[in-house]
Amino acid sequence: MQQAINLADEIQRFQANASIETALTPPSSWYTSGAFLDLEKHAVFQNHWLFVGRQDQLRDPGDYFSGTCLGWPYVVVLDDDRAARAYYNICSHHGTCIATGVGNTERFMCPYHGWTYDRGGRLIKAPLAGAMQSLRERHLDLKPIQVSQWGPFMALHFGSSAASLETQLAPLLETFATHPFDKMQFVRRVEYRVDCNWKVFIDNYLDGGYHVTQVHPGLTNQLEMSSYRTTLGDRWSLQSCPTAASPASDATVDFGQRVGEHADYAWIYPNFMINRYGPWMDTNTVLPLTADQCLVIFDYYHAGLAETEFLDQSLRASDQVQQEDMQICRRVQAGLNSGIYQQGVYAPGFEAPMLHFHKLLQADFLMA
Ligand code: FES
Ligand SMILES: [Fe+2]
């Protein structure tokens, strides 16, 4: 059984002002307690833009995609004026989720009693429920969610006020100037359910390349680890690394072709990553499911057309890296769950992006 914790005390056990040389990482409770997940839901996820999908999923009026984020069911649809709109995917009658998956539709009809909403979210039909006029006065349209697009991505904001995504990420976009989004075409989505707290996965991503040598031996001799660089932005960070001039000959795939000359790994608070390497881009969205389980969604894009065989081979190589990361994340979670481990330390030469993440989290916790 989970021990009751004092949330305020646990938040303060992380001392954000300490230098990276002396700082302790957040205590294990941040990674194991349902109380922290509840706190994160409104203090973190409801306060920031969350990337949920791609613009290419909405080409024609009526195209839609739906999903669930932190338990909030949503649907995003292109309306009759070709504007993207988002709603809670919840019927006003008894709360049934209306849309499923992706598709194209003129209107959304609830499968329960047939209440029907147009693409603008307006209730237009409620069979046998009385005059539409009187229903309308009761504000029974679908509840809107703020939606925004950035590059090829679509983001939702589940809270009340939101600063523009454009402004917030302008400095990151500048650093991506050598890697423009325009030629990128979506290739495939791959989802992994990982047995760790969502922050364990993000921490692993933000360790400044520290784990690469140990965990990804296949990657190590492909990257110039000595030239690894990190940049900390306001609510984002960027890790960059040139690729090795002469990749090892025993590489299982043609890594040079797959990775190109330079790899960029961008993270956007709280749970979105964009990875650029050679002709490839992939994005990772990390969604908490429970305190010690998360879902990681990989969307792969490629610049222009490529042979299917090359795509498959590259995706297999990528899957190998994901398997290595997931395995290590599971082992971290086992240690966190032990009750023995309390707080760790940072490797100062590498883990500044991780410390940056923990500071952002704590700031949000304290504002809640
Ligand atoms: S719950 Fe949707 S129509 Fe009844
Ligand atoms: Fe990794």
**What is the best residue among 113, 128, 143 to mutate for testing ligand 1's pocket, by most ligand atoms within 8 Å of CB?**
113
Contacts of 245 (CB under 8 A, 6+ apart): none
Question: Is the CB–ligand 1 distance for residue 91 below 6 Å?
Answer: yes
Q: Which three-class secondary structure state does DSSP give residue 45?
A: helix
Least distant ligand from the CA of 93: 1
Q: Of the bound ligands, which one is closest to the alpha carbon of residue 123?
A: 1
pLDDT in tens, 175-209: 777 777 888 999 999 999 999 999 999 999 999 99
CA pair distance 160, 140, nearest whole angstrom? 19
pLDDT digits (tens, 9 = 90+) for 218-254: 887 777 777 888 999 999 999 998 777 655 444 444 4
Structural domains for the chain: 50-150 (2.102.10.10), 171-367 (3.90.380.10)
Each residue's pLDDT tens digit, 329-366: 999 999 999 999 999 999 999 999 999 999 999 999 99
**Residue from 88, 89, 91 whose mutation best tests the ligand 1 pocket (most atoms within 8 A of CB):** 91
What's the CA-to-centroid distance between 137 and ligand 1, angstroms?
18
The per-residue pLDDT of the chain, averaged, comes to 92
Q: Ligand 1, residues 90, 92, 93: which to mutate, most atoms within 8 A of Cβ?
A: 93
Which tokens in the block code for residue 345?
A: 């330390």
Q: How far apart are CA 270 and CA 361, in angstroms?
A: 8
**DSSP code of residue 24:** B
- Does residue 134 carry a pLDDT above 90? no
Contact (Cβ atoms closer than 8 angstroms) between residue 37 and residue 290: yes
Please tell me the residue having the least CA distance from ligand 1 atom 3. 113
Is pLDDT of 216 > 90? yes
User: What confidence tens digit (pLDDT) does each residue in 143-166 have?
Assistant: 999 999 999 999 999 998 778 999
User: What ligand 1 atom has the least distance to the C-alpha of 110?
Assistant: 2
**Any atom of ligand 1 within 6 Å of the Cβ of 96:** yes
Exposed/middle/buried for 108, CB within 10 Å: 0-12, 13-18, 19+?
A: buried
